Structure 1
Amino acid sequence: MRKAEALVFILLIVLAGVTVGGAAASKASEPPYWIALYLPTPSPPSMMPIVFVHGGAGSAQQFMSQAMRFTSNGYPPEYLVAFEYDSSFTVENLSTVLARLDATIDQVRAATGSNKVILIGHSLGTYVSLNYLSAPGHCEKVAYYINIDGSSGRSAPALVPTLAIWTNLSSWRSGGLLLGLVGATKNIWFYDQTHTDACTSAETFAEIFRFINWKDPATTNIVPETSDYVNVSGRVVIFPYNTYNDNVSGTLEIWEVNSSNGHRLRDSPDATFSITGPNGKWGPFQANRSAYYEFVLLREDRVAHHFYFEPFTRSNYWLTLLTSAPGGIADQVNRSDSHTSLLIIRNKEFWGDQGSMNDVLKINGTNVITPMHCPVTKLVCGIWVYDKDSDGQSDLNTPIQQFHSLLFQTGVDLYIEASTTDPPDGVITLELVSRGGKGTHVINVPNWPSSNHSITVHFNDYEPNVGSSQCSAESIKEDNASSNPAAWYYYLVTLFSNNAALLQLENYIVNVIHQEARQRIAPKLM
């Protein structure tokens, strides 16, 4: 009867129009006194698996940093799942995506033994997630929902505590007004971040961790592992479909390279994996955490696609390699034996018109981040660099429109001389100084000719142990559930779960007076 009494009491308060506040209300940092009379003290949540849903033109790449922050705080890798889908809705429609998301969540619940998951959506992924949560029975599988910079003005899911995170330059505006997510447990804004930055930043991680664990993380850093070798695995997929739907199989070779020039250190690869459709999975590969590596995808009748990264200091199971099939985006690049083409990616926007807060990316000494190519409102995360029209000339004043017109991308006309030998004997030095001078990243790659080779260079979206907090175990703040308003709200929400005797009353509260209850009671508990 204890639960029934609590439900009836809440119902009476709502119907009577009573608000929790004034002299009778408890302090803001404590739950209202009357809740303790009817409910036992809620226990802190146990660790639950996390499912991330990326945005448009996105992939698991936007989850890599946060996943490694979670493992740095003790989460097992199998509790961290990136759900990838065709964000263009070309090879699969929304209904298919939602069905696969539901199947993925069920698989994660079964594999971990957890009744519920944490669902995180970013950008278009918030649209997918909110559609998923609107279907009958789906909210019962989700303990918390995190809405990152998307679906402004929509309503938060019923009975799922929701954290909504927004940025200063979000595209989801109405007359210049950031609407937030209506009915969310908490809406917060990062005024010094942009769209993808808010998905991958240490600040966002800290907010998510506190919301789902009721305490601060031990660290917001990506902590290097103590062993000399780490595990790396992921997928090869065709952009933007996030499936390996090329009609030829491939081979992925991994080579350790010289950090000073990107040249291979040995005559044979350190690892080789067969790439087949539709999942394109590869790995795991044991990488020396202080070494640089080249990943090269070889396919019949396709150019060789080389990928270069900064050293993997922590195990990474979410490394998606984006490539093209014939007719894909890479076919828009002009190719020749005389010049090299590059695609440079960082899952944090490149800023080029913010003065002292600009990023600087020099390719053999030439900065390619300019106000024309990378205005902050363009939200550029991918920069295509090649010799437009193969004319041997550079034009840094005019962006290449084929790529500048695309979401999150731009194109730079820069002539980079290619090697005439195979393997190449030259080197291209890419030096990235992150905005605010927080860190310098350097990756050296060979000057492969673009006629038969594509090059993708990935820079980390974080600075190693710079600009983020790290706490000792002794200094972690433990939130007492009895004085944590969010804990009480979650407990009220989940109180009704799995109790057939209260189902009719629960449905009445949810369907008839839910909105009024949220407006009158929930804000007072926050």
Structure 2
Amino acid sequence: MHTRRSLLLATGLAATAMLTACATSPSPSFAERPPIVFMHGNGDSAALWQTTIWRFESNGWPRERLFALDQPYPLARDDDAVAQPGRSSTTDSAVFLKAQVERVLKATGADKVVLIGNSRGGNTIRNYVQNGGGAAVVSHVVLGGNPAHGIWAVKGLRENNEFSGLSGFMQQLNAPKGPNGEEVTPGVKWLTLRSDNNDKYAQPDGLWIGSPGQPTNIGYDGPALKGATNLVLPGVDHRETSFSPAAFAATWQFLTGAAPRSTAIAPEAQVVLDGRAIGAENLALNGGKVTVYAVDPATGARRGEAVHGKNIGADGRWGPFAARGDTAYEFVLSAAGYGTTHIYRSPFPRSSAIVNLRPERLTPADASAKAVVVFTRPRGYFDAQRDTMRFDGQSPPAGVPPRGSGVSSSRLRLPAAEPQRAVTGEFNGERITGLTWPAAQEHVTVLELTY
């Protein structure tokens, strides 16, 4: 196993031991696993929970009781009280979550659900539980990298943004509750997961919010909440507080009172893939088309004709597609206003219904490029000090700073006219190769990491 993956596994096992030691009352095991609803973060989609759901399934949690949501307009408003096209307020998000929880309860017949949220998703969960009636139907909450006290708390700096610790929204969430002055809603079991010092949104310095050298008045412990079980996962970045093996191990321990059998993902004999073709607002690319090709993992070359194709309708679904768990694929997404995106992925060991496909736009900075290739890690960031990575032979990849986990993608612009060629991205043992496509015809290549 690669060194980095070994470290994450070891961290996960250590986290379970730490959690057992710090929890005042271990959560009971469930004879029948309750439904879990996963809430993504700012600008994200349900797809980020793919590996987390695989780990739950691999340890026996029923697939039909795992629900990852796609919130429409997932970006927060600049000012929570002022309507902004394509963005959502804290109220919008809580109303959406409430409706989805009610749908899940009805579909499963369960009395209560577990809520798991990353980043902004934690704000939504806390708001729903505290102010939207969620306390009556939620048993456990797990918050990964949630900016529970804001990302900044600076007078005069976007004070009515939901990520400001001085906002009315954040102040009322954190108001003392109960006789012990807890910051969490009583009657629900709470777990927070945070990094020791590597979360870009829990930093005392304003580097990652565009104000280097300026204090944010938020510490590394910003995601911790009085009244919750608060666990530190050393070295993880903002997204890995939710999507890493260590985060899964801690979450499983919290929900069941026992360590998971494994943080590894168990392969399935039959793999069926599905998901939605969506834009940045998580709305269906109605009228678009998805075509899937099996490719040679070493060269990115297509192995024959398309193995799947579908025109996208109002629901955005591009599947189902019966895949092979040992095969790498190229997903070609064409949509009006976006051009054509060629997304190369590693083999899928298990089925998933949240393989969401988002198009990549060409930007003005790409104007002179003959081909554009994006290397991206949706479930974590690139860290030059921590990770082993290479993009088209360059290490670290272009745009990745020498310190810190604050960048999750790298963009390669090939200026010279040259024949179509392979481009490879490598990250901690995962290797993806795709082909270049002509930018002049509005094509973009994306190498998307799974782990």
Same fold (TM > 0.5): yes
Aligned-partner Cα distance in 1 for 2:114–2:335 = 38
Shift of 1:458: 1.0
Q: Where do 1:53-452 residues align within 5 Å?
A: 53-85=39-71, 86-89=73-76, 90-91=85-86, 93-94=88-89, 95-153=91-149, 154=174, 155-167=183-195, 168-170=197-199, 171-173=201-203, 174=217, 176-225=219-268, 227=269, 229-239=270-280, 241-244=281-284, 249-267=287-305, 269-277=306-314, 279-300=315-336, 302-323=338-359, 330-335=362-367, 339-346=370-377, 347-352=379-384, 354=385, 357-363=386-392, 365-369=393-397, 373-387=400-414, 390=415, 392=416, 418-419=418-419, 426-434=420-428, 440-452=429-441
CA RMSD of aligned residues (A): 2.6
CA shift in 2, pair 1:231/1:293, >3 Å? same
AA matched with 1:210:
Q
Aligned-partner Cα distance in 2 for 1:42–1:366 = 49
CA contact (8 A) 1:56 1:88 kept: yes
More helix by share: 1
Task: Please state whether the residue corresponding to 1:206 is helix, strand or coil.
Answer: helix
Shift of 1:187: 0.2
Aligned-partner Cα distance in 2 for 1:236–1:107 = 23
Aligned-partner Cα distance in 1 for 2:405–2:28 = 45
CA offset digits 1:3-59 (Å, max 9, x no partner): xxxxxxxxxxxxxxxxxxxxxxxxx99999xxxxxxxx9774630111111112222
Unaligned runs of 5+ in 1: 1-27, 33-40, 393-416, 420-425, 435-439, 462-526
Aligned-partner Cα distance in 1 for 2:367–2:50 = 31
**Rg (Cα) greater in structure:** 1
Unaligned runs of 5+ in 2: 1-20, 77-84, 150-173, 175-182, 204-216
CA shift in 2, pair 1:238/1:333, >3 Å? farther
CA offset digits 1:349-370 (Å, max 9, x no partner): 1112x2xx3332131x233436
Specify the alignment match of 1:50 in structure 2.
Answer: 36
Task: Please state whether the residue corresponding to 1:199 is helix, strand or coil.
Answer: helix
CA shift in 2, pair 1:47/1:290, >3 Å? same
Aligned-partner Cα distance in 2 for 1:281–1:376 = 39
AA matched with 1:192:
G
Task: Please state whether the residue corresponding to 1:209 is helix, strand or coil.
Answer: helix
Task: Please state whether the residue corresponding to 1:139 is helix, strand or coil.
Answer: helix
Aligned residues: 371
The normalised TM-score by structure 1 is 0.65
Aligned-partner Cα distance in 2 for 1:147–1:29 = 17
Shift of 1:333: 4.6
AA matched with 2:345:
F
Paired-residue identity, %? 24
Shift of 1:306: 1.0
Compare relative contact order (CA 8 Å, sep 6+) and give the higher one, 1 or 2: 1
Task: Please state whether the residue corresponding to 1:110 is helix, strand or coil.
Answer: helix
CA contact (8 A) 2:275 2:356 kept: yes
Q: Where do 1:3-18 residues align within 5 Å?
A: none
Task: Please state whether the residue corresponding to 2:262 is helix, strand or coil.
Answer: coil
CA offset digits 1:103-146 (Å, max 9, x no partner): 11111111122111110111111111111112242111111000
CA contact (8 A) 1:418 1:449 kept: no
CA shift in 2, pair 1:179/1:309, >3 Å? closer
CA shift in 2, pair 1:265/1:187, >3 Å? same
